C-alpha cells in the first residue's frame, strides 16, 4: 500500500465532489454548534478530510455499503474518522496536541505506513459485513 499523502484534489474519477467535513457539518448543524466545533482545531479538520479521502479512495468499490450513495458513504467515512481520532487521543484536552503530532508524523514514511495499517484495520472492523468478506481490497 502506498503512503498516506495529501490529496491533490477532492474530485474522484467519477466526478463526485467530495465535500470537506466542515462543509458537510454546515448542512447538518446550526451555526452555534458549528462555532463550538472550531475548538477542535484546523489539524483535526485537516486529518478528517485527509484520512477520509484516503479511505474513500481505497474502499469506494467495496460492496459492503452499496446501499449508500457515494456522498453518503463519504460522510459515513468522515464520521468514522472523526470518532477514530477522538478515541486515539487520551482525552478531549489531548485532542489538539494529538492531531498536531499526528499530522506532523504522517510525513514520516515508516510512521505513515504503520498508521495506515491501523486505520485500515479499524475501518474494516467498523464497516465489516460477512457478505463482503472477500470483496474488500487487500
First-residue to last-residue Cα distance in the chain = 9
Phi-psi region of 5 (alpha: psi -120 to 50; beta: other; left: phi over 0): beta
- The per-residue pLDDT for 4 is 59
CA distance 45 to 72: 18
- The per-residue pLDDT for 8 is 45
Taking only the tens place, the pLDDT of each residue in 44-93 is: 999 999 999 999 988 888 755 557 888 888 999 999 999 999 999 989 89
CA distance 23 to 20: 5
- The per-residue pLDDT for 43 is 97
Taking only the tens place, the pLDDT of each residue in 12-41 is: 445 568 899 999 999 999 888 888 888 899
- The per-residue pLDDT for 51 is 97
- The per-residue pLDDT for 81 is 97
- The per-residue pLDDT for 102 is 98
- The per-residue pLDDT for 100 is 98
92-95 long-range Cβ contacts below 8 angstroms, 24+ apart? 95/40, 95/41, 95/44
Amino acid at each position: 500500500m502506498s503512503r498516506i499523502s495529501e490529496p491533490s484534489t477532492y474530485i474522484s474519477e467519477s466526478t463526485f465532489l467530495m465535500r470537506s467535513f466542515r462543509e458537510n457539518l454546515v448542512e447538518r448543524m446550526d451555526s452555534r454548534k458549528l462555532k463550538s466545533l472550531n475548538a477542535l482545531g484546523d489539524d483535526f479538520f485537516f486529518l478528517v478530510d485527509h484520512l477520509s479521502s484516503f479511505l474513500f479512495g481505497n474502499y469506494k468499490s467495496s460492496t459492503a455499503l452499496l446501499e449508500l450513495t457515494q456522498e453518503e458513504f463519504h460522510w459515513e467515512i468522515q464520521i468514522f474518522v472523526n470518532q477514530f481520532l477522538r478515541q486515539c487521543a487520551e482525552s478531549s484536552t489531548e485532542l489538539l496536541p494529538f492531531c498536531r503530532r499526528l499530522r506532523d508524523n504522517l510525513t514520516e514514511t515508516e510512521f505513515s505506513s504503520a498508521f495506515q495499517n491501523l486505520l485500515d484495520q479499524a475501518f474494516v472492523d467498523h464497516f465489516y459485513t460477512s457478505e463482503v468478506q472477500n470483496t474488500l481490497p487487500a
